[in-house]
A and B are shown apart, each in its own frame.
Chain A
Amino acid sequence: MSGVCTKLLFMEQIQGMKAVGHLDADCFYVSAERVRDSFLLGKPVGVLGNQGACVIAKSYEMKAAGVSTGMPIWDALVKCPEGVYIKRDFRWYEVLSRLMLEVAREVSPRVEYYSIDEFFFTVAEPRGGSFQVLAESIRDRIWERVRVPVTVGIARTRTLAKLISDAAKPFGALAVVDRGAEERLLSGRPVTEITGIAGRRAARLEPWGITTCLDLARADRRLVRSLLTASGEALWWELNGDPVRAIEPRRPAHKALSRGGSFGESTSDPAVLHAWLVRNLERLIEELEYHGVAAGRLTVAIPYKSGQTGVGQVHLAVPSDRFDLLLDAARSALRKAWIPRATATHMHVIAEQLTHRVDCPGDLFEPPARAAQAQAVARLKRAVNARHGRFALRSAATQALGPIYRDAANAYDICDVRGKSCF
């Protein structure tokens, strides 16, 4: 055993040390717009989502004026009257995202497509070079090739790498691989900067005097586990330089699939809510079909302006990806989630208990002709939409959302960019 260990150690020495890289585009949607429109360079720019209602990305110039992500445009105008507003275009952002991914794959054999503008990857210390030089060369190569400014962090673990790239933004490149430098970095940063530690978990740590990342790294491991469970302990290991969270080059199978989001214009109209339900369900079914799975449980969640969230959940008799069956389930879930006269802002339709379609039993109590007819309709819908464009053939129940369908930008959303491990 010890012989094997010595051999491994030796191998590591000749191959150079291994580390984890984290790449994060700087204000990605704005940078992506600037790639094709130099007029926007240097100006305060906001990309609008939710059909024009909210700022979903802002340039550093706009951020400096006090505009934050998610801010309604009317508030943003007050903070930044000179801002330039543009409509989002996820098709274009995905094109650049995949070009960046290609560059990352050139420098690393193992790349995780974490989100549209963030990747994790493994790196080996270059012969005769350093991790610092490597981080800079990755950043520069992306800039030369794609013209999107990114920041690259390299560290012993992914949690450290992300903290480092966050600290080095914008257009930064920083490798921190020795303990002394790590501790300096951790000492000045609040624990909430760690992905996975938000308000509630931070509040649990506070009575123990754990407020900075370094406090957490130096805390007793068993205490951290008792306060933050196993996932918190994983972060503890990672902060101390032990990589326990793997880089996933292929997205693990989905436990749940969901579609939905903001309405743009809030509504209390049951007909409009029903139209959104059908739209979200049709998009969800596309996703079920793509992954070849059927849903065993359907949940409809509706956040309201009042701060309440209505939730309805329905179990299906047998797992299904069929529009007629899922619509029945979704309607009764909607009834449970509906608060009469309350103004709803968002809706999420979530499919869980996913089973591979080939493993799904049929419903023994359903006349075979009905199943055959539903399958024929689904096939026709797929064929027409493949030929004439997404949503060309859709349920008439979506009629109340005419303006949403008329705008091509609404036909492709961030969730339609596939293969990301986060969102």
Chain B
Amino acid sequence: MCLGIALAASEIPNDLIDRHALRRRIHERGGEPEFRFLYRDRHPRLPVWRDGRLQIVRWGNGQKKSRFLPDTGWTWQATIDQGYWKNLNPAPVDIPASLGLERGVWYRIRQGVRGLLVPDERGVAVVYMICEPSSHYYQIMTRSNRMPTLIEERI
């Protein structure tokens, strides 16, 4: 289960940084700034591409802000395929990411991760990260048995 992502700072426009007070999420790695979006954050958020625009949206429902959305941050691709989300008016989105984080391992992601965007009862957009059973490599690298579904990439 991918517990967070990092995105190179150059990928996020300034107005978005100000609007969502993202500066506290800035970290440096090798002298380069990056934004870290972690599930354990007090306000878990993820960047998503929607209708050709980058947005920052709530990541999952771990803090139970919604009474009817599942209180997790992830969903299996298989669950989507089985139609479980069908009635919630879901939209597939791309979550841009430079790095993924799993059990302390930061690994390179070339484009991003697939996500599912759904509105909660107040119409607020909530994104769930889509995951799948780990590949052999991912399982050995992170000791996790599920991995995010990466965009046009297999590791």
Q: Which residues of A contact B (CB under 8 A)?
A: 37, 39-44, 48, 50-53, 61, 73, 77, 81-87, 264-265, 403-404, 406-409
* Assembly CA distance A219 to B18 (angstroms): 71
Residue numbers in A under 8 Å from B108 (CB-CB): 37, 39-40, 84-86
B76 at the A interface (CB under 8 A): no
B99 close to A51 (CB less than 8 A): no
Closest-CB distance, A323 to chain B (whole angstroms): 26
Whether B140 and A51, one on each chain, are in contact in the complex, defined by CB atoms closer than 8 angstroms, is: yes
Residue among B30, B31, B98 with max Cβ neighbours from chain A (10 Å): B30
Residues of B within 8 A of A (CB): 8, 29-32, 98-99, 104-108, 110, 135-141, 154-155
- Using CB atoms, name the residue of chain B closest to A42: B30
Residue of B nearest to A43 (CB): B30
Q: Are A42 and B140 in contact (CB under 8 A)?
A: no
**Inter-subunit contact A84/B136 (CB<8 Å):** no
A53 touches B135 (CB 8 A): no
| Minimum CB–CB distance for A341 against chain B, Å | 23
B106 touches A85 (CB 8 A): yes
Closest to B30 in A: A43
- Once the chains bind, are A406 and B135 in contact (CB under 8 Å)? yes
Closest A residue, CB atoms, query B10: A39
Check B107 against A85 for contact (C-beta < 8 Å).
Answer: yes
Which residue of B32, B110, B138 contacts A52 across the interface (Cβ within 8 Å)?
B138
How far apart are the CA atoms of A43 and B98 in the complex, in Å? 13
- Using Cβ atoms and an 8 Å threshold, which residues of chain B touch A406? 135-136
- Could you tell me the distance between the alpha carbons of A99 and B24 in the complex, rounded to whole angstroms? 44
Main secondary structure of the interface of B (DSSP, over half): mixed
CB distance from A131 to the nearest CB of B (A): 35
Docked pose: A44 CA to B8 CA in angstroms: 15
Q: Which residues of B contact A44 (CB under 8 A)?
A: 29-30
- Given the complex of chains A and B, what is the CA–CA distance between A39 and B8 in angstroms? 8
A82 touches B141 (CB 8 A): no
Q: Is the CB of A85 within 8 A of B98?
A: no
Are B137 and A409 touching (Cβ within 8 A)?
yes
Query: Would A264 and B30 count as touching, CB distance under 8 A?
Result: no
Inter-chain contact A77/B105, CB cutoff 8 Å:
yes
18 pairs from A and B in contact (CB 8 Å cutoff): A37-B108, A39-B98, A43-B29, A43-B30, A43-B32, A48-B137, A50-B140, A52-B140, A52-B141, A82-B106, A83-B106, A84-B106, A84-B108, A86-B108, A403-B136, A407-B135, A407-B137, A409-B137
**B106 to chain A: which residues have CB within 8 Å?**
82-85
| Residue picked from A52, A77, A404, A408, most chain B C-beta under 10 Å | A52
A50 to B140, CA, bound (A): 9
Q: Which residues of B contact A53 (CB under 8 A)?
A: 140-141
Chain A residues with CB below 8 A from B31, complex form: 42
Contact yes or no, B30 A85, CB < 8 A = no
Q: Are B140 and A84 in contact (CB under 8 A)?
A: no
Q: How far is the CB of A85 from chain B (nearest CB, A)?
A: 5
How far is B103's CA from A81's CA once the two chains are assembled, in angstroms? 11
One of A43, A264, A409 near B140 (C-beta < 8 A): A264
Contacts of A85 in B (CB 8 A): 105-108, 141
Closest to B99 in A: A84
| CB < 8 Å neighbour of A87 from B30, B139, B155 | B155
Which residues of B have CB within 8 Å of A265?
140
Interface centre among A40, A41, A87, A265 (most CB of B within 10 A): A87
- Which chain A residue lies CB-closest to B140? A52
* Shortest Cβ distance from residue B33 to the other chain A in the assembled complex, whole angstroms: 12
B136: chain A residues within 8 A (beta carbon): 51-52, 403-404, 406-407
**Known contacts A39-B8, A43-B30, A61-B30, A84 near B107 by CB under 8 Å:** yes
Q: How many Å from the CB of B83 to the closest CB on chain A?
A: 28
Give Cα distance in the complex from A81 to B108, angstroms: 14
Most A CB contacts (10 A, CB to CB) among B98, B108, B135 go to B108
